[in-house]
Structure 1
Amino acid sequence: MNDTPLPRIGFMGIGIMGGSMAGHLQAAGHRLTIANRSRGPRVDALLAAGATWADTPAALAGESDIVITVLGFPQDVEQVWLGTDGLLAGAKPGTLLIDMTTSSPRLASRLAEAAAAKRCAALDAPVSGGDIGARNAALSIMVGGDADAFGRAQPVFARMGKAIRHMGGAGAGQHTKMANQIAIASAVMGVAEALSYARRAGLDGEAVLAALAPGAAGSMQLTALGPKMLAGDFAPGFMVKHFLKDLGIAVAEAEAMGLALPGLAQSRALFDRIAAELGGDVGTQAIIAAYR
């Protein structure tokens, strides 16, 4: 019997995905401390189940063996990790800090260096799977950073995801997530175009989805977002404003490599149009509105 206590977890970013992810860790028996920019039902549910509230990122880190952040934008990550009251200001030597935000590979490398200077370890571990994957603890987790730190984090990752991969050194997780987002960008655009074509041809959309899903066109974007596109249901599983942030990072990284990605560029232009017309809080399936 293993009597070693579970590591204390600090979690910041109790949003659509973070709330479920933190909940899985709490249910597994980890002592959970949480922080968020605002209070709401997700935060209240975790507190009611026994989580502790921290007023600042520094206080959160000081109470934790492992800290996880799931935030919105790279500038949020930089502020929360490196600010005056940030995580690294409060972290004790030996603390493992994990950023699961989709963010900049170059920022991930900076955070790893800053953590090492404080005798801590850092991992970049963005995820794929959306709100459904988070709820079902079935996320794909792409990890960059030190191999020993990855080994330490793996039991924690296993509470939140199914496919967990160590991709290389600091920043490798974020580069892998950029590849993921580039693939999604063209895939979701393709689903919208296919359903727009089917509608114009007078076909039944549901029947088209049923016909395509088992074949070579089948994909998560088709099965998860196709029905929402047909129903005009633009409620977010993943918000357009956050996807545009990801695509902006991907474009910048590709340009720095001298790599032209026309599918990525076209998808980004369409999502820019959707954000201007419908706002950034709609789900990515709203791209179909660009074809109407």
Structure 2
Amino acid sequence: MKIAFLGIGIMGNEMATRLLDAGHELRVYNRSDNAALQALVQKGAQRCDSPAIAVSGCEIIITMLSHPDAVNAVARGDHGLLQGAARNSLWMDCSTVDPEFSRSMAAVAKKAGLEFLDSPVAGSKIPARNGELVFLVGGDESSFLRAKPVLEILGRKALHCGGSGQGSAMKLVVNFMLAQTVLAAGEAVAIGQKLGLAESQLLDTLLATPVAAPILSALRPRFERKDTEVHFPLKHMLKDLKLAKASLPAGATDLALLAAGIDSYENALSTADQDFSAIYQKLTENG
């Protein structure tokens, strides 16, 4: 299958590599040069100078970009994908964006004769590398079924959440839970440390109880090693929390944890290149 992949960042690189390894013909575009893009070309991907060129003749188009403005630019800007995509091609936007934006992209895609799925993922760098992502998909059932062969290469599960925008809505819910889980773990350990308990003892106990989310077991080695490698940027988690807040209906003001989470992640943000788990380190650093 001929596939265009637009956005070769932390996640895009791992996903595009899996598609290449599965034998698909891959055309790639990124707004800037990077080592991951060069490595994909060395493995056989065709590097393209614009989104329009990249998508030409492709049956499947995948975008994995950092925010709605980036998706809009790649889709509707000069030499954007909508200018080069063949009619009836399927565009899967795996970016984390707000539901209304996904619905607007679905509308412009339909006008251009394309099928569209908002297809954000639950999972970060290592699940992407191992094909263990969970896709949260919004759009027509027929398009979802059409995407299944690609989804099965990239993920362990694909959930059809409803019409256009509902995949993006579910992703904001999932990331809110993830943000709160790590924030709560950090505060719980910080409380325990102030009461004289060791970090290892606290994590052993918390993870042995039903109150700990499974993700904490996966993150524990990173917590204890104080691992700073970026798998999911903190700035993107903050962006997602703000998107969730902005997407709520007027008058939805009683969500105290969402507001507190935004404040906490803003306070933890110190550089552009931070993993979101840095909030745990910030909360426990004086233990």
Same fold (TM over 0.5): yes
Is 2:153 aligned against 1:162? Answer: no
Rounded Cα–Cα distance in structure 2 between residues aligned with 1:261 and 1:225: 26
Counterpart check, 1:53 vs 2:47: yes
Equivalent residue in structure 1 for 2:170, among 169, 173, 176: 176
Moved more, 233-242 or 45-54: 233-242
Q: 2:262 aligns with which of 268, 271, 274?
A: 268
**1:17 paired residue number:** 11
- Deviation, structure 1 residue 241: 0.8
C-alpha contact (below 8 Å) 1:254/1:260 kept by paired residues: no
Question: Do the aligned partners of 2:190 and 2:283 also contact (CA within 8 Å) in 1?
Answer: no
TM-score by length of 1: 0.92
2:282 is the alignment partner of 1:280: no
Look up the match of 1:258: 252
Residues 113 and 257 (structure 1), Cα distance of their counterparts in 2 relative to 1, 3 Å cut: farther
* In 1, Cα distance between equivalents of 2:34 and 2:78: 26
Kept in 2: contact 1:236–1:283 (CA 8 A): yes
**Alpha-carbon shift at residue 255 of structure 1 (Å):** 4.5
SS in 1 for 2:230: coil
Per the alignment, residue 41 of structure 1 pairs with 35
Structure 2 residue 161 is the aligned partner of structure 1 residue 200: no
Name segments (4+ residues, structure 1) moved above 6 Å: none
Query: Contact between 2:138 and 2:162, CA under 8 Å: does it hold in 1?
Result: yes
Tell me which moved more, 134-143 or 222-231.
222-231
Contact 1:191–1:221, Cα closer than 8 Å, also in 2: no
AA matched with 1:59: I
Aligned counterpart, 1:70: 64
* 1:226 counterpart = 2:217: no
Instruction: Give the deviation of 1:209 after TM superposition.
Output: 1.8
Pairing 1:95–2:89 present: yes
Counterpart selection for 2:98 from 93, 99, 104: 104
Q: CA offsets, 1:228-280, max 9 Å, x none? A: 334333332111111111111001112447353211111110111111xx223
Alpha-carbon shift at residue 171 of structure 1 (Å): 0.3
Among 57, 74, 84, which residue is 1:80 paired with? 74
**RMSD over aligned Cα atoms:** 1.6
Q: C-alpha distance in 1, partners of 2:249/2:187? A: 27
Q: Percent identity?
A: 35
Q: Structure 1 residues 160, 236: closer, same or farther in 2, change over 3 A? A: same
Which TM-score applies when normalising by structure 2? 0.94
Equivalent residue pairs, number: 284
Distance 1:110 1:76, change over 3 A: same
Alpha-carbon distance in structure 2 between the residues aligned to 1:147 and 1:216: 36
Report the equivalent of 1:135.
129
Relative to structure 2, which stretch is displaced further, 204-213 or 31-40?
A: 204-213
Structure 1 spans left out of the alignment, 5+ residues? 1-6
Contact 2:48 2:54 in 1 (8 A): yes
Letter paired with 1:38: S
Contact 1:128 1:140 in 2 (8 A): yes
**Contact between 1:206 and 1:227, CA under 8 Å: does it hold in 2?**
no
